[in-house]
Structures are given as structure tokens and as C-alpha cells.
Amino acid sequence: MTTGMRMMMGAAAAAALAVAQPAVAQRQVNERQATGATGTVEITVPAGAVRVTGWSRNEVQVTGHLSRSTDRVQISGGRGSMEVEVVSGSGRPGNATLTVHVPAGKSVEVQTSAGPVHVSGVTGDVEAVNRGGPMTVEGSPRDVELTSTGGPVTVNASARSVSVNSTGGPVTIGGTVRGLAEVNAMSGPVTVTAAAERVEINALSGPVRITNAGGPVEVASVSGPVYVAGRRLSGSIENVSGGVVVEGTLGGGLSVESHSGDVELRLPAGTAADVDVTTYSGGFRSDFGAGRRDGNERHLRLGRGGMELSITTFSGNVKLTRR
């Protein structure tokens, strides 16, 4: 047999395998079960992609496909709580690609790994754990709680509260959060563009960017820059080597600390606050006057004073800018 013939036969065999494999291995899914309008649907997919969509029917429907013909989707439960699970006839289930329609008023709990999770149209709580893929939540859920050990997390919703725990990948929260928007992130940028009543961010190295805070803000970071903008700001912002920029109006006491990062506060001209600046070796610049110096401390009264603003750095420069 010539080399050319061998190549042709090999190519033909490969093509035949490629065509045959999905038909042999995959299993189509189309399951449904009646349920109540409220309660919880738990969805467990060992690996694969899950798309959950709220709809107006009091019925759970699961469509999609499973990579192994020995796997199947099991739906159990009743009017309140329901469980949707990929189970295997032998060993660990393979990959699944599922779309799950649930009554919009249900709460949803999703657990998967190595695949994307997308939830939309649900007005109950959304809780998801993903060990390796991106997560996205949209619509008007009540409380959102997401845990990711890899992959980006995106919430673009009108929610009562949003809580994200991530050890990798960017975290983005947009839309509206009527209560607390909370992020614990190991790395990756954290961006909160949502109009949020309260924001709490605990990050290590990723930059933190909050653009539309509407009240108390608590931020702790180590090495990434922190930017906070909003209205009626109060709370505390802490960093170690990263800089901090705060821009907006004050609504209460605010404390800003950075060891070696620069701190800049961009405040409206009419701001009324009593400002204490403490820096060991950092410089100080102010559009509001130099204030009274007392050792490493400076005290300034902006306008008629009132709200307490505390800025502390070791070597970072401090700048007060009039917007």
C-alpha cells in the first residue's frame, strides 16, 4: 500500500468516526414535570453547560443532550422543591448541555463544573456553584449568591442582594442592587457598575472599580488599585500597596487607608466635612486649603464641617481635589 493510499484510508476512517461518534454517544433529553409556581429547583450537573430560564408555566422542562448514552436526567420532587440531576448508569456522568425551564417564581440552585452557567428570567433566589466555567445571571432575581473557582462571573440584574465568591476570573455586577452587593475575590478585576445601596468588596490583587455606589462602601484590597464613585458615600476603604481614588458626595463618615498607595479624594465644592489626614512620609496636596498641621496629622474643615473623613497612609501621597 502506498503512502498516499494509507493517508486516504486514514482520513476516511477519521471522517467516519467523527460522523458516527455523536450518534452513538450522545443522548437527547426532553423531560418535563408539573410543579408549583414557587419553591426551589435544584439542578446538579457534574460537568457541562446549564442554561436556566424562567417561564410562565408551572412546569419544569429539561432539554438538551448528554454526552454518554448511559447517562440520564432525573427529575424528582413535587409542587415545592424539585431536583434535576444528571445521573449515570455506570460511573461518573459525562458532559451535559442542558436548558432548564422553570416557573419564574421559583428559586434556583445550580451546581456544576467545567461549563458555563446562565440563569435568566427567575424572580426567586439564584444560587450557583461552578468549579470551572463562566457564570451569568440576568433578569430580576431576589437574592443572588454565586461561588466560582474559575471563570468570569457576571451579574446584570435588578436584585435585592448579590454575593459573589471567586478565586479567579473577573467579577462584574451591573444593573441594580437594592441591598448589599458583596464580592470576595482572590484575583481578577472586580467591577461593580450596579446602582447599589451598599457595597462590600474584599479583593487581593485585582483592581476594584465601583462606579455607582449609593451609600456605605467597605473595600479591602492588597495590591490592586481601588476606584469608588457614587453618591452619599460612607464606610471604609483599605489598601496596602494599591492606590485609592474616591469620587462623589459624602453621606456619612468615611475612612480611607493605604500603606504605600496614593489616595485621592475628588469632592464637590460644597462638601461639608471634618478631614483628618495622617501620613508618615507621603506628600499632601489639597484644593481645599492646607489645614492645620499637628505632627504627622493634618486637620481640615471643609465648608461648615460635620461628616468625618479620615485618610491614612504610610508613604502614599494624599490629594484632595475639588471637582
Partner 1 sequence: MTHERTLELLDDYVEGTLPPHDERGVRRHLMQCDDCRAEERELRTLLDEAAALPPGIQPPVELWEGIAARLEPRSATVALAPEIPVIGPRPVRRIPWWMQAAAAIALVVTTSVVTLQIDRAGPAQVAAVQQQPAAQQAAAPAARTALAAFHPAEQEYQRAIGDLEQMLGQHRDKLAPQTVATLEANLKVIDKAIQESRAALAADPNSRELATMLSQSYDAKLDVLQRAVSL
- The reply to whether 253 sits near partner 1 by the rule CB under 8 A is yes
In the chain, alpha helices (H): 3-25
Out of 77, 252, 284, 301, point to the residue binding partner 1 (CB under 8 A).
252
- The reply to whether 218 sits near partner 1 by the rule CB under 8 A is yes
Nearest alpha-carbon partner for 276 in 257, 301, 299: 299
Out of 183, 300, 307, 320, point to the residue binding partner 1 (CB under 8 A).
307
Distances (CA, A) of 218 to 124, 169, 237, 277: 27, 21, 6, 19
As measured in angstroms, the least distance from the Cβ of 313 to partner 1 is 9
As measured in angstroms, the least distance from the Cβ of 205 to partner 1 is 6
What mask of x and - would describe binding to partner 1 in positions 107 to 126, judged by CB under 8 A?
A: --------------------
Strand partners, 135: 117, 153
- The reply to whether 293 sits near partner 1 by the rule CB under 8 A is no
Of residues 143 through 172, those in contact with partner 1 by CB under 8 A are 149-150, 167-168
Decide the pairing of beta strands 297-302 and 292-294.
Answer: antiparallel
Is residue 254 helix, strand or coil? strand
Nearer to partner 1, 112 or 234 (CB): 234
As measured in angstroms, the least distance from the Cβ of 265 to partner 1 is 15
As measured in angstroms, the least distance from the Cβ of 296 to partner 1 is 6
What mask of x and - would describe binding to partner 1 in positions 194 to 213, judged by CB under 8 A?
A: ------x-x-xx--------
- The reply to whether 247 sits near partner 1 by the rule CB under 8 A is no
As measured in angstroms, the least distance from the Cβ of 306 to partner 1 is 9
Do the Cβ atoms of 128 and 153 come closer than 8 Å? no
- The reply to whether 294 sits near partner 1 by the rule CB under 8 A is no
Decide the pairing of beta strands 297-302 and 273-279.
Answer: antiparallel
What is the distance between the alpha carbons of residues 138 and 52, in angstroms, rounded to a whole number?
A: 10
DSSP 183: E
Query: How many Cα atoms sit within 13 Å of 95 on the Cβ side?
Result: 10
Q: Which residue has the cell 462623589?
A: 248
Residue 303: Cβ-neighbour burial (10 angstroms; 0-12, 13-18, 19+): middle
Nearer to partner 1, 33 or 278 (CB): 278
Residues of the shown chain interacting with partner 1 in the complex, contacts defined by CB under 8 A:
149-150, 167-168, 184, 186-187, 200, 202, 204-205, 218, 220, 222-223, 234-236, 238, 240-241, 252-255, 257, 259-260, 278, 280-281, 295-297, 307-310, 312, 314-315
